[in-house]
A and B are shown apart, each in its own frame.
Chain A
Amino acid sequence: MTSTENKEKIIGLVCERSVELKDQLDEKGCLKDDPNVQIIKVPCSGMIQPIMLETALKNGADGTFACGCRIGDCHYREGNKFLRERLLGTRMPKIKPSTDQRRIQAYWLSVLEYEKLQEMVGDFQEYLKTIDSSDAATGSASQAVEASS
């Protein structure tokens, strides 16, 4: 097993209808390929409140991401679009400006795209290592949120 000591702890809020994780999770709900990534499932990415992502960071996660279906393909029509707008700050309730937005990402992936999620979470891990935690600059969330689209 890879050592979990020097890796960044990530909380991922994932829509049930996006990436299929049935065979990818261990009993604690972490990714088998990367036990530092804890997955928490929600019925739709549109249900994710900005405060959930803020809570994850506040309670000690190094990073957190939301994963919904492809933009345009939400089962409930507009969930992922709304979450994206909330993270970009154009729809209420918005993410708090004091949050370190560099530590928040959003991915839009369909059931079939687990490899892509794995790849992007890996990149996120690498990116988090380069961030100085004392420098709480609120970077642009838009960059991260748009990255996967």
Chain B
Amino acid sequence: MYTERLQTFTLWIEKGLNKVFSQKYNPFYYHGALPNFFIWTLFISGLLLFAYYVPTMTKAYPSVKYITEQIPFGNAFRSIHRYAADGMMIFVLLHMLRVWFTDRYREYRIIPWLTGVILLTITFLVGLTGYLLIWDQEAVNLTSMTVNLLGALPLVGAGLAEFFMPGGKMVDFTLTRLLFLHLAIPGLLMFFLWMHYLRITRPVTDAPAPLYLLLLGGLFMICGFFPVELGADPNRAAFSQSISFDLLYMWPQWLAVKGWDAGWVWALTLGVIVALLWLPYLHKKTLRGQFAHVKFENCTGCSLCYHDCPYEAIEMVDRDDDTRFKRLAVVDAGRCSNCGLCVGACAFKAIEIPRRESADVLEEIKVALATTSS
């Protein structure tokens, strides 16, 4: 399978990273937690920007200029907000690729994968609206390009274009609505993040502090060496076409400038999303009908397996048969990954996975030792 090669490739990179970072601080072992660092960075730096930003046609640019030039460390905060957005997208993509390459995205992990695709889309939308809010000449050009693309959508296109540019013009509503989306969509992000973690027991939401400090240091260095710049005032400057695209967020507009038809840009965008949602279903199911089973007569209701199950597939229920035990472990077949962690947790031989019985392992050990000693 192609996935095996991808996995070997990932492990090869990690082997190198283990030498640099040691196993304890290998960033690849915290790939899901690292985007959380950027969420917090973006939230905190965004608070300051939000305090001074004025979302109207005439005041937007001056307020950004004020943040950039007057407020102590104002431009530093803007730079952090901008580069953290890039970092967020980069680390989210790395997270996604690693999960895909190591085959951890399907069957019992379907909910994290599907919500992950939604989270990726949401991250993209937040970043996109953020770029437009700067409202220098470049952002104004990008806004009209974005609205043009939106308008090309069938059915909803005209309505969306009207929502952002009532009567085809940029007015104060354009900016308030962009700002509203830029602040409201992250709320949606939190909701889907919750769903992302739903089927995961003890999700790794934080990386060790040294890794966070390393990221923060790297972020500060980039901000120091390449502070963001503010473009021309759209209220005064002559209309200019020169735009530098951040391809992590601006690739649809970039494609449009390269001469792509709006229809093709949308076909590509939606195609990528649908392909990602479809990906786990392309793989042949490997776990059909395979799940851990509880031997009722042995289960004491101690709930060790319930606590150790990494996918919340075990539930403790009351039992009223004629044993002296009050609780019983029950497996949810659809969530079970057939991994056997519950077998390792059980001291009473009460739970087994079909592909490897613990009694067989014990038997093999005994046989191996019997043949050599005789």
Contact indicator B26/A72 (Cβ below 8 Å): yes
Q: Is the CB of B8 within 8 A of A92?
A: no
Report the bound CA distance from A28 to B23 in whole Å.
33
Residues of B with C-beta under 8 A to A51: 347, 362
Residues of B within 8 A of A93 (CB): 304, 345-347
B339 at the interface (CB under 8 A from A): yes
1/0 contact trace for B5-43 toward A, CB 8 Å? 001100110110010000110101110000000000000
Q: Is B165 an interface residue (CB 8 A)?
A: no
Query: Are A9 and B344 in contact (CB-based, < 8 A)?
Result: no
Nearest CB to that of A85 among chain B residues? B308
Quote the shortest CB–CB distance from A27 to chain B (angstroms). 13
Q: Using a Cβ–Cβ cut-off of 8 Å, how many residues does chain A contribute to the interface with B?
A: 42
Consensus secondary structure, chain B interface: helix
A144 at the interface (CB under 8 A from B): no
Q: What class of interface size applies to chain B in its complex with A?
A: 35 or more
- B103, B344, B358, B364: the one within 8 Å of A79 (CB): B344
Report the bound CA distance from A46 to B358 in whole Å.
12
Chain A residue at smallest Cβ distance from B109: A77
Interface positions of A from 18 to 64, Cβ below 8 Å from B? 28-29, 38, 40, 42-44, 46-49, 51-52, 55-56, 59-61
Among B53-61, B136-144, B173-181, B365-373, which stretch is in contact with chain A? Answer: B365-373
Interface pair B8/A111, CB less than 8 Å apart: yes
Q: Which one, A52, A56, A78, contacts B308 given CB within 8 A?
A: A78
Which has the most chain A C-beta neighbours within 10 Å: B14, B102, B368?
Answer: B368
**Interchain CA distance A52-B366 in the complex, whole Å:** 10
Among B12, B23, B341, B346, contact of A112 (Cβ-Cβ < 8 Å): B12
Which residues of the partner chain B approach A73 to less than 8 Å between Cβ atoms?
14, 28-29
With A49-B344, A77-B200 known as contacts, the answer to whether A59 contacts B337 (CB < 8 A) is no
In the complex, are the beta carbons of B369 and A59 less than 8 A apart?
yes
List the A side residues contacting B200 at CB < 8 Å.
77
Contact for B341 among A46, A56, A72, CB less than 8 A: A46
- The answer to whether A48 and B341 touch across the interface, beta carbons within 8 angstroms, is no
Q: Tell me if A126 counts as interface (CB < 8 A to partner B).
A: no
Q: Does B75 contact A (CB under 8 A)?
A: no
With A52-B361, A71-B23, A110-B15 given, is the CB distance from A82 to B341 under 8 Å?
A: yes
Q: Given the known A-B contacts A47-B344, A70-B14, are A40 and B104 also in contact in the complex, defined by CB atoms under 8 Å?
A: no
B169 at the interface (CB under 8 A from A): no
A residues sitting closer than 8 Å to B (CB atoms) are 4, 9, 11, 13, 28-29, 38, 40, 42-44, 46-49, 51-52, 55-56, 59-61, 70-73, 75-79, 82-83, 86, 92-93, 108, 110-113, 149
Since A59-B366, A77-B310, A111-B8 are in contact, a sample of 20 more A-B pairs with Cβ atoms closer than 8 Å, ordered by chain A residue number, is A9-B372, A11-B365, A11-B369, A40-B361, A40-B364, A46-B340, A46-B341, A47-B341, A51-B347, A70-B14, A70-B23, A72-B23, A72-B30, A75-B102, A75-B103, A77-B311, A78-B201, A92-B345, A93-B347, A112-B15
